[in-house]
Amino acid sequence: VLPLPDFTGAYCEQRARYFALVRLEPFNSMQSIINYVKWNGGLSLGTTLGNRQLWQVGLNFLMLAPAGFLLRALWRVNWWQVLLLGIGFSLFLELTQLTGIWFIAPCPYRVFDVADLMANSSGALFGWLVGGIPIFYHILKRGLTEEA
């Protein structure tokens, strides 16, 4: 959401004319990543580190992973509740971008992307899965000490 652009001049008119503000293709990010690798000589460390779309998807995935982890490890929240919370929070973020911070900005300046919803929500679910490791370890440890 930040930093805010300079809204002076014809910024909003140009933005509305040249940019799609809503992307509804669910896997458009994956296609962009594949195209980048093809156009830059194949898969290598350089093309991986230089792929901005890959960074965006990866960081969107990781953004809600700690929340999924904590929701399971500390509060024992079910996987479907974590998924719904991930979708809800991600939808809130995407709508914030689409509305220009809930109409504070004179026009939208970021893109609402369904692929971001998918990456954020699956990251929350991944965090939930990883959050099960300490629970499993604790149960296993307690079970072994009770038998001894």
pLDDT of residue 92: 96
**Residue percentage of the chain with pLDDT more than 90:** 38
| Whole-angstrom distance, CA of residue 84 vs CA of residue 108 | 26
DSSP letter at 42? Answer: S
As beta bridge partners, residue 113 has 23
Average pLDDT over residues 51-59: 91
Cα–Cα distance, 121 to 83 (Å, whole number): 6
Sign of the dihedral defined by the CA atoms of residues 5, 109, 47, 61, in that order: positive
- For the entire predicted model, the pTM comes to 0.81
Measured CA to CA, the distance from residue 126 to residue 128 in angstroms comes to: 5
121 and 64 Cβ atoms separated by less than 8 Å = yes
Range with the largest mean pLDDT of 46-50, 85-89, 108-112, 130-134: 85-89
Sequence-ordered list of residues with C-beta below 8 angstroms from that of 68, at least 6 positions apart, any chain: 82, 86, 123, 124, 125, 126, 127, 128, 129, 130, 131
Which amino acid appears at position 34 of this protein?
Answer: I
Q: Which of 6-15, 28-37, 110-119, 133-142 reaches the highest mean pLDDT?
A: 110-119
* Non-local CB neighbours of 121 within 8 Å, separated by 6+ positions: 64, 83, 86, 87, 90
